[in-house]
Amino acid sequence: MSPDKRPVRRAVIVAARRTAVCPRGGALAHLQADELAAPVLRQLLADADLAPDAIDQVLLGNALYGGGNPARLAALRAGLPASVPAMTIDTQCCSGLDAILQGARMIESGAAECVLAGGAESFSRAPIRMHRPETAEGRPVAYDRPSFAPPPFADPDLTEAAACLADRRGVTQEAQADFAVTSHRKADAAMPAIGKRLVRPDAAAPERDGFTRPLTRKTVLRAPVLAGDADTGLNAATIACEADGAAAVLILSAAAWAKRGGGPCLNIRQGVSIGGDPADPALVPIKAARNLLHDQGVPVGQLSAVELMEAYAVQAQVTMAELELDPARVNRLGGALARGHPIGASGAILVVQLFQALGSQESAAESDERLGLALIAAAGGLGTAMLFERTVSKGG
């Protein structure tokens, strides 16, 4: 059969899980990234009643580790056979969503039938980074982050870049504070529902996200400005905190899911990863979303739910304004400002949240097929967007 006449293979998400997200040094600080991810992978197999040897590939995003392939460690800890390959993906904040996108593409291409994909990060246990000296007499030099773009490209501190964006767009401290308050309010209200998707890595792990709390504008504005000026500056409440956590999904081919009896699933319509100006990384996902929605012929108004990464309040606010997103449909279960930012896991958490948000729409007046968008930016000028469709696969 010629390549252009091969049947189209669809990839569907049939299960989605995550750990709680806890601030750096908090309730998950004793666990490595792979220790956070392993129980999530095990639970996904249990959810779908799949044997470990049914998995063809494990893909996990991770941004802070200095090697060692955490995906492989997590797969072995989860009890998967040693014959199952595992790959760690590092596109910084996009890593978890990119892992899911690559898993879907493996299935669509026929390279796999069943993939575990997601992300894991432990800010608390990440290695201390140092540059080796150039000479025998030199000393190692510690650094907080690597370079995300080489000269002559700009490589700004991400918080400073977000502060510049707030200044250019005139997004006031008060507006950012209101956005943060709303994020926490949504997350707090949704906590019982969110808890149904959480996996506890051990007995010491919490049963809810550790950072979510009641906030007021007054409380947020008391925090000192960390970047920018008094009018549009960013503070600790309008920047997602460094955090620990893991999230993953189980992706099958639609045919394989139907053979197993089918049922509710999240059809992966399409995804796109693009590059943009490293000096303005927050704006790159806007183009990614526009390209994706145009390619799929989906107007913004048809989206039932949008999971948009809130690394910074201003980043999310500008993205929502540019894409004309309905605030009521964005981060309905709360966003990263309310839970934290475990970098390599954050993109995968968006999909877990979307899986739940779309599945919770039970009104008889709504279609059985509902559309959702996941959207995230990354250092170095990267952006990833994925479009999903909630549907019911009929068993064979």
Domains of the chain: 3-128+239-394 (3.40.47.10)
Determine which helix (DSSP H) or strand (DSSP E) holds 77, and give its type and residue range: helix 70-77
Cα–Cα distance, 217 to 237 (Å, whole number): 10
State the pLDDT at residue 6.
52
> Which pairing describes strands 86-89 and 243-253: parallel, antiparallel, or unpaired?
unpaired
Token digits of residue 324: 């004309």
> Which pairing describes strands 57-61 and 114-122: parallel, antiparallel, or unpaired?
parallel
From first to last of its 396 residues, the chain has per-residue pLDDT tens of 444 555 578 999 999 999 999 999 999 999 999 999 999 999 999 999 999 999 999 999 999 987 789 999 999 999 999 999 999 999 999 999 999 999 999 999 999 999 999 999 999 999 998 999 999 899 999 988 889 999 999 999 999 999 999 999 999 999 999 999 999 999 999 999 999 999 999 999 999 999 999 999 999 999 999 999 999 999 999 999 999 999 999 999 999 999 999 888 999 999 999 999 999 999 999 999 999 999 999 999 999 999 999 999 999 999 999 999 999 999 999 999 999 999 999 999 999 999 999 984 443 344 455 999 999 999 999 999 999 999 887 654
State the pLDDT at residue 330.
97
Cα–Cα distance, 338 to 359 (Å, whole number): 22
- The pTM of the full predicted model, rounded to 2 decimals, is 0.95
Partner residues linked to 11 by β-bridges: 253
Contact predicate 387/270, CB 8 Å: yes
Q: Angle, nearest 10°, between helix axes 313-323 and 158-169?
A: 50
Contact predicate 60/119, CB 8 Å: yes
Could you check whether the bond before residue 152 is cis, i.e. omega within 30 degrees of 0?
Answer: yes
Within the chain, what is the greatest distance between any pair of CA atoms? 73
Token digits of residue 237: 């409440």
Cα–Cα distance, 353 to 360 (Å, whole number): 11
Cα–Cα distance, 374 to 87 (Å, whole number): 22
| Residues annotated as catalytic (active site), given as ranges | 93, 341
State the pLDDT at residue 364.
33
Cα–Cα distance, 186 to 212 (Å, whole number): 10
Token digits of residue 26: 């908090």
Q: Which of 7, 3, 51 is nearest to 255 (CA)?
A: 7
Contact predicate 375/300, CB 8 Å: no
